Structure 1
């Protein structure tokens, strides 16, 4: 704690050339030496360099606002100084008391608050000048005027002081009276970024990536966020400039490793930023390719000449290609095709290996996922067992606790038997033994990924099954909201004042809530809470691009949203200028006789007109754009003339919206 204090023999203010003695009170019980300095308007002069004297004499020569500073250091110490003390001192005395009181609306403020000052005087009229002390310097914030009120935004923390000088209108003095008032700017609570995460589960190029940042700060402060994307080469791109939006999204066109830098700052902060955070992420070309199932529609062994359909179920990638290779006595290779099934007709008996290769179209290698099946073709004569179809009573996905029924239609064999196998997340959950019943019911009690496998075999078959079919379903706690259609007026031209009604058509409507965000020319102007209404209407008050973002989620959803759609509408001030035509006041055109041409049109707002005349084959501008829709012309020579009028609405920045040409000949 600094126990070094200073005081003066004469109280401030004093007249210039007064003899002021600056005293140092050393309560530290240490041997110190002192340096005395005087500051005025940011300029410092050394009154006396380091000395053991605890007082010094100062005779100011000019009026002004001074800061007296004493630095002290220990004898033999290595620091520039160990202690420091300052005090304000004003030179220049008021001749008469003009200011009775200075009022401020509050003496404790936060950064960015406005300090409102009112000066009460003893006479009228007088003029006022205002100063503020910032650190060790007085700065004028308003020169002499008749205003006895001032509003000032505080921009730095700590103790501050406002000085008001005033004088009579006809006074030649620098000031006739002055008075100061002190205030304090309280430090803001530090802004701390507490969470920075990606809301998109799969980070894939050419898809929307959504990030969210959370921070801890005073609830009544406005916090701005700025986001930079940094690629692996260190190249930086601003994704969002400083804004209150905590959620940022963009479309990444290239795969690779990236960083997202978030800068956070108080809107009134003088710092470039108050806190920052970096999020590392990787953008894939596409989701990794997995083969979920590779099956045949009929099990082996089968007879020669029987058509066997190879079925592939794969996930991931962007544009999948499939390759089916048959290795055995009579080999086949489909090459890469887009179809996820392949019909193979065996021509010779024997043992075969069926190979499925899957890759994305953009992949240069041989394959990204591969799966194998063994298959036997023999010469025994019998009708093969074949599943003709599997019927489910519900569409995928399905809610838990809902009943699922499955029915098998099969043909072939002597006496068919039906069995079922239920798996959850790859593990066997339930097995229904073979019976005559081709129907099964199942009620999932937990969410997850399920596989329902239908198996069919002949009563006399020794195999586990003669043919089978697998259906994958997703069981959920709730059905995520899906907006199927966005309906809005199918007008080509929207005008200011038109009501625009947007309707959302979604499945499971009763359990869906929707939030609407309206932006005009990129600026968010309205954001609703999640509401049950599926209709959103607004009336545009001025022209521009209106974008409505529609976020939908199930009422049980814990995420930000399940589905997002948007509608962009271009709103115009008026209909375009159309059907422009030119009329004239004469039916006969005669040399040296004036003729007036008038332009008529439809649409537009505050329409402007520009006229050109073609004479002797040359076009000449005769009347620039104005609201005057007519032009009077006197032809002096016989011959052919043309009149061109260009029209446009006043607010439109294009050269013209519509035009018309009238030809005439003089006699």
Structure 2
């Protein structure tokens, strides 16, 4: 038994004008105060304010669906009320049993699910009206119509109720019969973001940034995602409105610190969003600059007037500049140059320090990376040893387990000896001590970057080496796919209806998968799966800027893609209008005689024409843009005149594409 209940002197439904006594049954056995309300169509009226009397009377004046609400509180309570109860009450009695039965296809649903109700009646040609009770308020779903079936979407969690009213078509009553069905709406399971991450390893200006979000949701639910970017200046930009795509990609034009917000919601959720997550990311102008090595082609000491080559291997930056500073008895300074090597010919003996500064050209301070070498110059004459060339039979990139042959061409000395050292992460993996053979074979067993140091010295030299060179190798489990060329017709623009074919030329063609993403005016319209097909074509049906992203990856690759290239083309509705010419149907134009001017041209689509006439040194529009390519005139005065014809394609928003001017005399 409930603590308090509402009792009525007459059961619902009743007719209007009848006095109904409303009594509160108190099972708490405490003295209470009671306040009575009646509500209809979302409007509440107070029948009786807080009072010790547990009853009141109500005389409804209109038919309708009402809710009776009572608030109760203890006499000594400081609260607005301690208890609240509600009951529905129908005013307007049915005249007869027109409804045989009222069926619903589901008694329990989740928010967003469709519900189907059907009314079976005892007579034909009836009208039906449908109401729903959500949170103690009756709302009209569908007004009177002959349809005895109605489908609607459940929106409000809790116990809901459907009411159908029916009447005969010529009835003057609000309704002649009614029926009700209860059903329960369960709330949607909460959608939570469990991971929001950036898939791009290096966040650089004008490079694609890819973000992905993961939620804890079952596969049978449709989750929508919205991405909003907050710029460093405080402005915001919607990168993707609500869509089922949980990955977003874009490029930044400026470096700085950004924030990306991801809003997620169930497609049927009534909330603005169910969960939100943010990720802060910093975009750099370029990769950090790192000097991998700074070496010379000849070992210290050397003699005066010997050409010594400084070689820098640097990663990062966008537009690198180098500065070589030689400090000693006869110093030099190259200033910032773009060459990663510098030739020094020492003029005086002594101890020298060679400093390398490297920075991006946009960097304002002295350097971003620095390295130093100490070098001794002697006055004694020596027969110099130098390495002219190192030849790798398979280049710098190899597959693990395959052999690589390195061959050295060196000159100088009396009897040269060669040594080879292979390192990975500064750990020696293989070493071949000095010998007469100028070549060596290696087979890297692990994936990664290797350093091959080649040392050459004269047989009688007491130095560790007379000349050396370092070669960097990359060993792969597989060769990352690389797009070499994209072949397609060379045009400034294409036309709607042109079949545009792209042939993709890749390395290791049989092991390379290719994926195509086509965008029109920034909107993605087509995305393929990865395929071995290196040919892609499409038939543009509308004008605009078409952007084709081509992704390539090796079949063994675990990355999203190994290489990417973009092709941007412009598609127009038609060729531009050219060769516009005004023609006249008369050789001699006379006063009061009609003359017709017509316009011919080539190109364009659905071409429009506009005509201007110069009269008394003033241009006057005589015919606005239309598809009519001729202009008729009956001159009334003699004189010299000019006619200007402008033309453009119907889709074109510009003022005109082409024109012609015709001068004529009226006699």
Equivalent in the alignment of 1:242: 242
Q: Which residue of 1 aligns with 2:516?
A: 516
- The offset of 1:451, in angstroms, is 0.3
The match for 1:459 is 459
1:137 Cα deviation from its structure 2 partner: 1.8
**Equivalents in 1 of 2:564, 2:510: separation in Å?**
18
State the secondary structure of the residue aligned to 2:39.
strand
Residues 74/422 of structure 1: CA separation in 2 closer, same or farther (3 Å cut): farther
Q: Helix, strand or coil: the match of 2:402?
A: coil
What's 1:441 paired with? 441
**C-alpha distance 77-430 of structure 1, shift in aligned 2 (>3 A):** farther
CA distance in structure 1 between the partners assigned to 2:568 and 2:370 by the alignment: 44
* 1:404, distance to aligned residue in structure 2 (A): 1.4
Return the alpha-carbon distance in structure 2 between the equivalents of residues 569 and 120 of structure 1: 61
CA distance in 2, matches of 1:31, 1:514: 81
Q: Is the 8 A contact 2:493 2:569 kept in 1?
A: no
Query: Residue 336 and residue 610 in structure 1: after superposition, are their counterparts in 2 closer, same or farther (change >3 A)?
Result: closer
1:487 aligns with 487
Larger displacement relative to structure 2 (428-437 or 10-19): 10-19
Are the structure 2 counterparts of residues 513 and 58 from structure 1 closer, same or farther at C-alpha, using a change threshold of 3 Å?
A: same
Matches within 5 A, 1:240-639: 240-639=240-639
- 1:290 CA drift (Å): 1.7
Alpha-carbon contact 1:161-1:180 (below 8 Å) kept? yes
Change (3 A) 1:81 1:551: farther
Q: Describe the SS at the equivalent of 2:484.
A: strand
State which drifts further: 396-405 or 195-204: 396-405
Mapped partners of 1:434, 1:528: distance in 2: 56
Q: Distance in 1 between matches of 2:71 and 2:438?
A: 99
Matches within 5 A, 1:165-176: 165-176=165-176
CA distance in 1, matches of 2:312, 2:116: 75
Q: Please say if residues 495 and 574 of structure 1, whose CA atoms lie closer than 8 Å, have aligned partners that are also in contact.
A: yes
Q: CA deviation at 1:420?
A: 0.8
Moved more, 516-525 or 464-473: 516-525
- Aligned-pair CA distance for 1:349: 1.9
User: What TM-score do you get using the length of structure 2 for normalisation?
Assistant: 0.92
**Alpha-carbon distance in structure 2 between the residues aligned to 1:219 and 1:302:** 72
Q: Report the alpha carbon displacement of residue 74 of structure 1 after superposing the two structures with TM.
A: 5.8
Q: Which region of structure 1 is more displaced relative to structure 2, 95-104 or 496-505? A: 95-104
The 3 A distance-change label for structure 1 pair 424 and 182 is: same
Question: Which SS does the other structure have where 2:16 is aligned?
Answer: coil
What CA deviation, in whole Å up to 9, does each residue of 1:348-393 have, x standing for no partner? Answer: 2222222222222222322222222222222332211111111111
* Distance verdict in 2 for CA 1:185–1:648, change over 3 Å: farther
Structure-1 separation of matches of 2:78 and 2:486: 76
Query: 2:492 touches 2:570 (CA, 8 Å); kept in 1?
Result: no
Distance 1:480 1:28 in 2: 79
Give the Cα–Cα distance (whole angstroms) in 1 for the partners of residues 578 and 149 of structure 2. 56
Contact 2:108 2:183 in 1 (8 A): yes
Distance 1:621 1:480, change over 3 A: same
Change in CA separation of 1:391 and 1:640 when aligned onto 2, cut-off 3 Å: same
- Once the two structures are overlaid, the 10-residue window that deviates more, 480-489 or 429-438, is 480-489
**Equivalent pair of 2:309/2:343 in contact (CA under 8 Å):** yes
Shift of 1:78: 5.3
2-side partners of 1:571 and 1:111: how far apart? 45
Query: Which moves more between the two structures, 555-564 or 402-411?
Result: 555-564
Q: Which runs of 5+ in 1 are unaligned?
A: none
Q: Does 1:156 align with 2:151?
A: no
From the superposition, tell whether residues 245 and 330 of structure 1 become closer, same or farther in structure 2 (CA, over 3 Å): same
Distance of 2:537 and 2:28 partners within structure 1: 74
Query: 1:398-430: CA deviations, max 9, x gaps?
Result: 222221111111111111110011110222222
Instruction: After superposition, give the CA deviation of every residue in 1:259-316 in whole Å (9 maximum; x if it has no partner).
Output: 2221112233222211111112222333222211111101122122111111111122
Over the aligned positions, Cα root-mean-square deviation in angstroms equals 2.8
Contact 1:197-1:279 at 8 Å conserved across structures: yes
1:607 to 1:347, Cα distance in 2 relative to 1, 3 A: closer
Partners of 1:350 and 1:333 in 2: how far apart?
17
Task: Give the Cα–Cα distance (whole angstroms) in 2 for the partners of residues 412 and 438 of structure 1.
Answer: 14
Q: Are the equivalent residues in 1 in contact too, given 2:500–2:539 (CA < 8 A)?
A: yes
Q: Are the equivalent residues in 2 in contact too, given 1:102–1:118 (CA < 8 A)?
A: yes
Confirm or deny: 8 A CA contact 2:325 2:354 kept in the other structure.
Answer: yes
Q: State which drifts further: 83-92 or 194-203.
A: 83-92
The structure-2 alpha-carbon separation of the partners of 1:596 and 1:302, relative to structure 1 and needing over 3 Å to count, comes to same
Give SS of 2:569's match: strand
SS where residue 129 of structure 1 aligns? strand
Is 1:2–1:84's contact at 8 Å kept on the other side of the alignment?
no
User: Could you say if the C-alpha distance between residues 378 and 606 of structure 1 is closer, same or farther in structure 2, counting changes exceeding 3 Å?
Assistant: closer
When residues 230 and 610 of structure 1 are mapped into structure 2, their CA distance, relative to the original with a 3 A threshold, is closer
Equivalent pair of 1:493/1:575 in contact (CA under 8 Å) = no
| 1:17 partner SS | coil
Q: CA deviation at 1:47?
A: 4.0
The match for 1:139 is 139
Indicate how the Cα distance of structure 1 residues 125 and 461 shifts in structure 2: closer, same or farther if over 3 A, else same: same
Q: 1:403, 1:78 → 2: CA distance? A: 90
Using the TM superposition, name which of 24-33 and 504-513 deviates more: 24-33
1:196: how far off?
A: 1.0
Q: 1:323 to 1:493 in 2, by over 3 A?
A: closer
Matched residues in 2 for 1:605 and 1:383: separation? 79
- The structural deviation recorded for 1:329 is 2.3
Quick one: structure 1 residues 660 and 329, their matched pair in 2 at CA, closer, same or farther if it must change by over 3 Å? closer
Any stretches of 5+ residues in structure 2 without a counterpart? Answer: none
Secondary structure of 1:355's aligned partner: strand
Alignment of 1:78-97 (within 5 A): 79-97=79-97
**Residue 221 of structure 2: aligned partner:** 221
Contact 1:303 1:381 in 2 (8 A): yes
The 1:145–1:360 alpha-carbon spacing in structure 2 relative to 1, beyond 3 Å, is same
Q: What is residue 654 of structure 2 aligned with on the other side?
A: 654
For the residues of structure 1 that align with 2:556 and 2:74, how far apart are their CA atoms? 70
C-alpha separation between the residues in 2 aligned to 1:118 and 1:521? 47
CA, structure 1 residues 587+255, in 2 after alignment: closer, same or farther (shift >3 Å)?
Answer: closer
Aligned in 2, Cα 1:128/1:261: closer, same or farther, shift over 3 Å? Answer: same
The Cα shift of 1:255 comes to 3.1
Bigger shift: residues 79-88 or 257-266:
79-88
| Partners of 2:604 and 2:523 in 1: CA distance | 26
The count of corresponding residues between Structure 1 and Structure 2 is: 667
1:510 aligns to what SS in structure 2? helix
SS in structure 1 opposite 2:510?
helix
Alignment check: 8 A CA contact 1:264 1:273 kept:
yes
Q: 1:504 touches 1:534 (CA, 8 Å); kept in 2? A: yes
1:546 Cα offset (Å): 3.0
Aligned to 1:10: 10
Q: Deviation of residue 116 (structure 1)?
A: 4.3
Cα displacement (A) at 1:22: 4.5
